[in-house]
Structure 1
Amino acid sequence: MKLKRLIRGVATAGAGIVVAGALLVAPAAPAHAAPGGSGPYPADYETTLRLPRHTVYRPASLPTGLRLPIVAWGNGACRADGTLFEVFLKELASHGFLVIANGRPGGTGSTDAQMLIDAVDWAVAENSRLGSRLRGRIDTTKVAVMGQSCGGLEAYEVSDDPRVTTTGIWNSGMLSDADNGQLARLHAPIGYFIGGPSDIAYENAMDDWGRLPAGLPAFMGNLDVGHLGTYSQPNGGEFGRVGAAWLKWQLKGDAAAKAMFVGTGCGLCSGPWQIMRKNLT
């Protein structure tokens, strides 16, 4: 139960991870607080009355022809603050993704796994809704569910949704063997991004790794930074760089991003990351 207490209690510490930006309340206003990220499409966040319990990150300007895969994100501590991981999520969105975080900007209270499904449902609806500025701009065939710590448990819970293209588990792992049935329902490639042996979730994540379904494509990356990762560093630090690459490979088929994970000379095969792989080709 030690991990469970930390996952729920990290909200207080997590509040210092990132600094939330301005609150945007227009139902479909363009993002315009402070675009960021190292990708080709500087990204920001906004809110919408059609999805009132979430924060939506996207490129501030949408170039013609750009279609955004969907990334649903659950926060550490299952905290309902959609800007808790602002720097990191802007980085992901700046590479051409629609990232939808549980919770409003600066919000309080708790989230649940259903909110990740709500985010995906909203994005799918927006892609076809008359009057939506995102109409025809979302790739609804490419969906990632991801989360940090308690948010990772939320991602596990909904990963059996047939629309899910990939799952991302950040500083997280199943709390008990009673939850292992969720692992058996995984059907899409999964990436683990853990903070090394000093991460309170390390042992849980490694135990999950050994229980994954046979044949499931999987990546395990450990960076010795502990449970709070590098999320608050410029552009999300190493977690931002590697997370964006995972999404670019899994949701966009980017060959250069794939080379970071696959092959004997992969980009992460040497250096600070300690990696393991299963069924990655």
Structure 2
Amino acid sequence: MQFDDYQALRFDRRGRVLTITMNRPDTLNAVDATLHRELSRVFIDAALDPDSDVIVLTGAGRAFCAGGDVGWMQDAIDHPESFETTVSEAKAIIFTLLDCEKPIIARINGPAVGLGATLGLFCDVIFADEATYIADPHVSIGMVAGDGGAVIWPQLIGFARAKEYLLTGDRIPARRAAEIGLINHAVPAAELSAAVDAFADRLAGGSTKAIRWTKVTTNIALKQLAHSMMDTGLAYEALTNISDDHRQRVDAFLKRTATGSKAR
């Protein structure tokens, strides 16, 4: 299978392991319209890829994924009708990620924020650089965490902890995230690649059908939950997309960014 038509994702192979890299390092892999569209179909293509049995998802450069690109957010504010496409793609990202029978390992090499956190946490096994952090600060920009964050966080750390972090947008250091079960492993940066490779090789060398179908069986309840919640969460997110609060927060962020650029 060829992946030549992707622009914002990079693909590398190592044996039967396919690594998908979000490849916008200059923006800390912030998700713009192109990356969002490609994420909505990449797990279908990866699932059909005959040359791999295990998938690794990671980010290029210093971050895993910094969440939504603020310029893209401003465009959605200016053209709210475009959010219908965003909603459709957002559901496809989560459902195709869950539907992919191949095990997906998250290699969180730097901050995983907003949608970046959602992507990482919906993977099957999660490794992170112990010096980084995970956060879902949708509320900090006046939006509902409708992209799947409200689905997955409570399943991993319980409702009380999940609501504390989702309602504040506070960061969780990777070590703490591992302690409370949000992720599987927090390891030193110098050991991250080796740890991910070793686990990927273990799965690739295992009983492929048994591993795939164990994932499928385990994901049934999570898929049912996602299907029951995503429409509501995304509908509320669409409402906050046109709210004054969101508009003001995005405008303030863009002004701070512009001022910082001029200062440099």
TM-score, normalising length: structure 1 = 0.36
As a proportion of its length, which structure holds more helix?
2
Tell me which protein shows more strand as a share of its residues: 1
Q: Which has the higher contact order (CA 8 A, sep 6+)?
A: 2
TM-score computed with the length of structure 2 as normaliser: 0.38
